[in-house]
């Protein structure tokens, strides 16, 4: 088993979907990644920052999921990163209503000594210079560095983002962001162009339409599980990233074949995330329901066909 180092926001979110609205609830990219990866029982740590307003019970909840939280800095007198968003009726697209960086604006990440040799580094969504600084603190080059980002950083810190993209092995990004980053409409062309920026593997997430994994000339597709009810898609992308890296950390195998399995685990876990508001569903997942749904996934995608 490899150690998994996670960096990303630990946040307050306020979410509006066609089904309801929340006040400030627990969110953040690293929160979702950590909860998702914890289902693989890997050793993981989160590097992040919160303000004095962040409830201790949330940190305790992460710790209860066996996540090392010693590198989540608590800034006295500071306010936690806040994001609010509103989903459109299709639930595949959303508008960001507000992003308050707060303590994230001056964050200097410190990687814990015990994780400077982590095999897998998951650079979750936050300022690209923070992602870069985490990579630079590694004393042993990770076997795999995975980057997730979003349009906010393309709009506000593109040069820094390109610097970190150059240094990673895998990028996970959604379809619209892949188009924005590459300037290409076709996702196949977009992935090819993004691969020339650095990452050998490109994962393009398409919400309820599944995810594509690109490597050289190979392409693998995993559907999203068709769900009767999608309640809140927030964090699905991060949950996907946590499942992807959690599986790779557990199996210590970064071959393309194993990455296909990682994409299936990732989609499987993301399907739970969207069933309730925020992190609620991910906090209470059990082994059996994960395995049962994996079986459903298998049945959904497996077929025999005669080639004549
Ligand atoms: P996802 O739905 O997977 O894109 O992730 C949603 C999570 O990303 C929310 O919990 C937010 O707190 C967090 N988030 C939103 N905007 C940003 C941003 N600009 N940087 C880092 N994290 C963000």
**From first to last of its 308 residues, what are the pLDDT tens digits of the chain?**
889 999 999 999 999 999 889 999 999 999 999 999 999 999 999 999 999 999 999 999 999 999 999 999 999 999 999 999 999 988 878 899 999 999 999 999 999 999 999 999 999 999 999 999 999 999 999 999 999 999 999 999 999 999 999 999 999 999 999 999 999 999 999 999 999 999 999 999 998 899 999 999 999 999 998 988 888 999 999 999 999 999 999 999 999 999 999 999 999 999 999 999 999 999 999 999 999 999 998 998 888 899 87
Cα distances from 257 to residues 214, 219, 226, 298, in angstroms, run 12, 11, 24, 16
Are 117 and 94 spatial neighbours (Cβ–Cβ below 8 Å)?
A: no
* Beta carbon of 11 within 6 Å of any ligand 1 atom: yes
Q: Name the 3-class secondary structure at 239.
A: helix
Test site for ligand 1: of 27, 49, 83, most ligand atoms within 8 A of the Cβ: 83
Q: How far is the CA of 305 from the centre of ligand 1 (A)?
A: 41
* Beta carbon of 27 within 6 Å of any ligand 1 atom: yes
Test site for ligand 1: of 17, 29, 151, most ligand atoms within 8 A of the Cβ: 29
Residue with the smallest CA separation from ligand 1 atom 16 is 83
Pair type for strands 170-174 and 144-148 = parallel
* Beta carbon of 128 within 6 Å of any ligand 1 atom: no
* Beta carbon of 29 within 6 Å of any ligand 1 atom: yes
182-185 long-range Cβ contacts below 8 angstroms, 24+ apart: none
**Residue 7, number of CB atoms within 10 A of its CB:** 26
């Amino acid at each position: 088993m490899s150690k998994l180092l996670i960096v990303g926001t630990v946040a307050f979110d306020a979410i509006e979907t066609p089904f309801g609205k929340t006040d400030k609830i627990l969110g953040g990219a690293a929160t979702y990644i950590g909860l998702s990866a914890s289902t693989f029982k890997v050793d993981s740590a989160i590097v992040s920052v919160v303000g004095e307003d962040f409830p201790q019970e949330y940190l305790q909840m992460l710790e209860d999921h066996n996540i090392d939280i010693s590198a989540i800095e608590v800034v006295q007198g500071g306010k936690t990163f806040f994001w609010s968003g509103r989903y459109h009726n299709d639930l595949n697209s959303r508008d960001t209503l507000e992003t308050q960086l707060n303590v994230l604006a001056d964050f200097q990440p410190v990687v814990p000594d015990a994780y400077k040799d982590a095999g897998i580094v998951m650079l979750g969504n936050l300022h690209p210079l923070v992602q870069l600084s985490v990579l630079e603190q590694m004393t042993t080059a990770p076997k795999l560095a995975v980057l997730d980002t979003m349009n906010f950083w393309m709009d506000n810190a593109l040069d820094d983002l390109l610097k970190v993209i150059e240094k990673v092995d895998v990028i996970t990004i959604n379809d619209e962001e892949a188009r924005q980053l590459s300037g290409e409409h076709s996702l196949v062309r977009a992935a090819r162009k993004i691969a020339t920026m650095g990452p050998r593997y490109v994962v393009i997430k398409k919400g309820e339409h599944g995810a594509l994994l690109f490597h050289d000339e190979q392409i693998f597709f995993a559907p999203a599980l068709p769900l009767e009810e999608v309640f809140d898609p927030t964090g699905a992308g991060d949950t996907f990233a946590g499942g992807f890296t959690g599986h790779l950390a557990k199996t210590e195998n970064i071959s393309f074949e194993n990455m296909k399995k990682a994409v299936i685990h990732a989609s499987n876990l993301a399907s739970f995330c969207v069933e309730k508001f925020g992190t609620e569903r991910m906090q209470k997942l059990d082994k059996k329901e994960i395995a049962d749904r994996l079986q459903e996934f298998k049945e959904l995608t497996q077929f025999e066909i005669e080639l004549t």
